[in-house]
Structure formats: structure tokens, C-alpha cells
Amino acid sequence: MKRILSMLVPEVPILIGATLLVTQPSLRGAALGLADVYPFTILAAALLLGWRFNRSRLVFAAALLALTQYVLAGGVDTPRERLFFHAATILLPVNLGLIALLPERGTVTMAGLLRWGIILLQVVAVGFLAKNVPVQATALLKTRFLPAVLTAWTPMAQAAILTFLVTGALLVAAWLGELQSPVRGYLYALAAVFAGLSWKATGPGQLIWFSTAGLVLVVAVIEASYLMAYRDGLTELPGRRALNEALLRLGGQFTVAMIDVDHFKLFNDRWGHDAGDHVLRMVAARLAAVPGGGKAYRYGGEEFAVLFAGKAAEECLPHLEELRETVATSRFTPRRRFRPRKKPTALKGGGGGGGRTREQIVITVSIGVAEKDNRHSTPDQVVMAADKALYRAKEAGRNRVSA
């Protein structure tokens, strides 16, 4: 449930808020007032964040949204305006999809200038068609391949709806392939753009939806920056900075456990860093489920920490012993692509007969525990005491808990 919520928040509440703002009669006054400042505030925030955090995709997306809204501000009363609208319903989702899927390459680099050039080329092409053959070009963009009744609910042509669906499917596939991918924000922004272009009612609805698309992208950059600062990308556990801040917020009793993967350097030397990363992810998954109300953090390298707020060390020891046993009873089976750098003399776990049994490796951890007391009254002192206990556990033979 927590993972599902993390995939919906904060974007879905933002979209729900925008829906209420443009549909509820009681909020019409607020929507009219917001329309005067909302787009400019979002555009300024997007450009500032894009420049400050080197997020060129945000700059390109904000520029596209602003340009499209400017072009569509005149309505769809003339043949030229109708062509602008239908061209935007196809070009905008395509461009947003490409921005989301292509890597960051800067805004004034050669790659960035090329992207600006492509956008300018599209503007020139649409302007040329609008000046010379607006009716014919619009008729081509409005070509129907399904019964008209199926798409009567939106002013967009069927080709545009198909473009949105294909772009959305590509973004969903990219997001599911990498849950921390920035395409997530663009997928929700695409939904807001679709709502804006489908908006038929008079008033600031379309403007609110386009600005909301920009807001979603701004929030996505802020979320990504937070995750980079506070969450470890490999294990998806909170990082050392998050632990330090959590310790500073604690005012009463707490216990810290420092955890180290035994013989990890030897494992890396034999199996390589890719296999080592898999081991760290496996251990992190066990730590994330630590019993007793503890919260796990990646401290650095092969070292982790578990924080028990409001508990003494004696209360935590049974839970940490259970955690140690859980890790020790888990078996890591190297995949075929993980070749040992040195040929093993024998396969562990191998049976008789003509077949070869894939090697299973036992992973263990050593744990040092310390609590806040009269001798260790500050978070730094508690962490240092837990670290010393960890070294005692290693010197005593590893795969044990020491307090």
C-alpha cells in the first residue's frame, strides 16, 4: 500500500485540486483570480529550478507549455486558430514524450541548441501551413478512422487522442521499467495537458490545466532533488543525511544499531561490483523489514544503520538478533552473468552426478548496538559507540550482535 501511495502522491492530489478548481461553481472566483498569476508563477519557478538544478528537460517543457498556451489564447474562431489548436494537440504530447524519454543534455549545449532548433522548426512549419493552407491542413489533422460518436466528448481529433495514448503508454512503460525515473512527472503532466486541450467550457479552465501541468513538473524536480539528497539510489533506503536529521529530531531515549556486511570486500573482489550491488540490495530489503519499530538507513558502502526511537538497547537486541538470523539464512545465488574473477576450486552446495549446481553464498552481517545514556548523550556519541560495538562484533568472529 505504501508503494502504491508513493506512486500517486503528490501528483494525483494536485490533479484532483485542479479538477475541483475548474469544475466547482463556488470556486469560480478563485479560479479567475488565480488565472492572472498562476501561469507566470509556474513558468518562473520552472525556469529558475531548471537553471539552478541543471534540469534542461524542465526548461524545454515549460517553454512548450507556455508557447502552446500563448498560441491557443485567441480561441478557435478562425481557420488559422483551428489549425493552431489541432496542430498543438498532436505536437505537444509528442514533444513532451520526447523530452521525458531523452536524457538531460543542457539548454545551451549543442544538443540543447538542436532541440531548440527542432521546436523552432515546428513553429515555422505550422505558421507556414496556417498562412497558406489552413483549411486543408486542419482537415488532414481531423481525419477520422473511428465513428465520430466515440470522440464527440472532446474537441480534439482522433489522431490527437491516439497520439496521447501512444505517448502515455511509452511513458508508463518507461516508468514501470525504472520507478525512480523522471518520466513519472511527465506522465501526470501529460494527463493535465490532455484535460486542458479537452476543456470545452468557457473561463480559465484550459489555462489552469496547462499551469497545473507545469506545477506537476516543478514538483517532480523538487521530489527528485529530495530523493537524491536523502535516499540511497541503490538500496532505496534513506541515506546518511536522512539519519543525521532523524537523530537531531529525537529528544528522548533511542538506540542505534550499526550493521556491516561481513567480508564484503572479498566478495566484491571475487564476484565483481554488480554482484556486490545485488547483495547490498538483498541486505537492505531485510533491513527495511526489521521488527521492533526500527527504521533502516544506508550509512555508506556496505554499512547500514537502524534507528529505534523511544527504545533502550535491551529492548532492541532480540529484534536485531532476529534480523541477523534472517540475513544469515538467506542465500545469494549468483546469476550466470556474475562470473567469479578467480575460478573456484569447488562449487559450494554442489551435488553428485553429472549436473552442476549453481553456487549458493551465505551472506552474514555483524551488528553493533548502543543507546542514549549518561555516557553517550548526543547522537554523534551514540553512533560512535555503536560503531565501536560493531568492531567488537567483527573481532569476536563476525555474524553476531554486540552491545
Q: Which residues are catalytic?
A: 302
CB 392 within 8 A of CB 258: no
Task: Calculate the alpha carbon distances from 339 to 272, 330, 336 in Å.
Answer: 8, 20, 7
Strand pairing of 331-332 and 361-362? antiparallel
Q: How far apart are CA 10 and CA 185, in angstroms?
A: 10
Question: How many residues belong to the chain?
Answer: 403
Cell of 279: 547483495
CB 96 within 8 A of CB 64: yes
Cell of 5: 501511495
| C-beta contacts of 85-90 below 8 A and 24+ residues apart | 85/155, 85/197, 86/138, 86/141, 86/142, 86/156, 86/157, 86/160, 87/126, 87/129, 87/137, 87/141, 88/197, 89/156, 89/157, 89/160, 89/163, 89/197, 90/141, 90/159, 90/160, 90/163
List % helix, strand, coil for the chain (3-state, nearest 5): 60, 10, 30
Q: How far apart are CA 204 and CA 231, in angstroms?
A: 39
